[in-house]
Amino acid sequence: MKCIGLLGGMSWESTVSYYQALNRGVRAQLGGLHSARVLLNSVDFAGIERLQHAGDWPATARLLAAEARKLQDGGADFLLIGTNTMHKVAPEIEAAIDIPLLHIADATAAKLRADGITRVGLLGTRFTMEQDFYKGRLQDRFGLAVLVPDEAGRNRVHRIIYDELCLGEIRESSRAEYLAIIEALAAAGAEAVILGCTEIALLVGDARAAVPLYDTTAIHAEAAVALALASD
């Protein structure tokens, strides 16, 4: 079994979900007392968040590249970045290491394509919904048509992520808001919606929505388990 390097802590609430999903996935495949070989480097999110909102992406890239190298040096066979937003600096992180990077958008897009989805809604931080590093990758590499909420909707989705979900707060009023935004995306033609922030599933992952919801944390972890257990 390969060792999974997990760059986490962004936020730690979703890193918990990753750790559970990786171990449950290995147990489901191998049974008994088997669990995943995981090397976790959990960063302090406060500093990352300040750099994000200041737009200082080069600083976040340098910081996370250094942390990724520690996972490689510790014996990880491949890397997961346990957050959608910080895949903005995935190219810089990938360039700093010699082990493979399993990209969250690629894993998600592959599952969407396998399910016959071609037109998809995207929820996430404003960075993920508005910038090309994620949306553009889905469009250019996988031919998916990507819909996002209007500006007011994007602001609400973003605020709830940082002010509530990253702090472990789950509010029924916010769940209702998210479900209404998902319904609007469905009305605009989305066949499914990507929960493109690793915290969002904590809020609506088990909810009955207007269209199927694709939990990127679960999909990313599932792909990591498959890679960890694959024969060389």
Furthest CA-CA distance within the chain: 49
Taking the C-alpha atoms of residue 206 and residue 204, their distance in angstroms, rounded to an integer, is 6
Residue appearing with tokens 């990753």: 18
Q: Which two tokens stand for residue 35?
A: 């669990």
Show which residues are catalytic.
83, 197
